Copies of this chain bind each other. A is one copy, B any other.
Amino acid sequence: MARRNDHTPDELRAMALAAAREIAAAEGLRGLAVRRVAEKIGYAPGTLYNLFDSLDALILALNGETLARLGMELVRAAEGNPAGRAAALVDAYFDFVERQPLLWSVIFEHRMPGEGDLPAWYSEGLSGLIDGTVAALAPVLGDWPEEDRRPAVVAMWAALHGLSMLAVSGKLALVSDAPPRSLGHLVVNRVIGGG
């Protein structure tokens, strides 16, 4: 056996990520196994190691895609009138999370082994998300000093991540009747304003 060449490396990578996304959406990080992804795309487990360094690298790529998809929806949500943008971002965020909670939870449950230095493209994706938000909220933050904006936006994102993570893991419902989304609006209202 060998050298089927049915697909280019890029095609194979896309197939593997699509399969991984399906598994993650249905079962979360627990079901995300090399052997299952391989079986789903009709290749041997070893083949995945031609495409990714490790299962961790595959999951990182999947999370990168998930963040990029979220980013696209946030950009669309920020197109409305400036006054309602902060609220629109919060709604778009929770819409996204609620649509595929288990896929979203993989972002938080997965940790790189050892010192866990994340690759540059991951760092750039996150920075882009933050910078995009700072720019989109510029009208709302009109009177803020330049150096205060980024920390506030970072804190706002961390708060939303905290809420969604607690919600997805079932812990938020244990201590709050309020839906995660309304707590999100509360935080953003306080930290940024206009939410």
Contacts and interface: CB of A to CB of B under 8 A. Distances in A.
B30 A169 contact: no
A61 interface: no
Interface in A140-161: 150-152, 154-155, 157-161
Number of copies: 2
A159 B183 CA distance: 10
A112 to B, nearest CB: 7
B158 A183 contact: yes
Contacts of A162: 157-163, 165
A-side binding surface: helix, strand, loop or mixed?
helix
Contacts of A122: 174
B170 A117 contact: yes
Contacts of A127: 174-175
Contact of A186 (B152, B160, B174): B152
B170 A161 contact: no
A112 B170 contact: yes
A70 to B, nearest CB: 14
Contacts of A126: 171, 174-175
A174 B118 contact: yes
Among A116, A162, A171, chain B packs the most CB atoms within 10 A around the CB of: A162
For the complex of A and B, the 5 pairs showing the least CB-CB separation, nearest first, are A162-B162, A159-B159, A158-B162, A161-B162, A123-B174
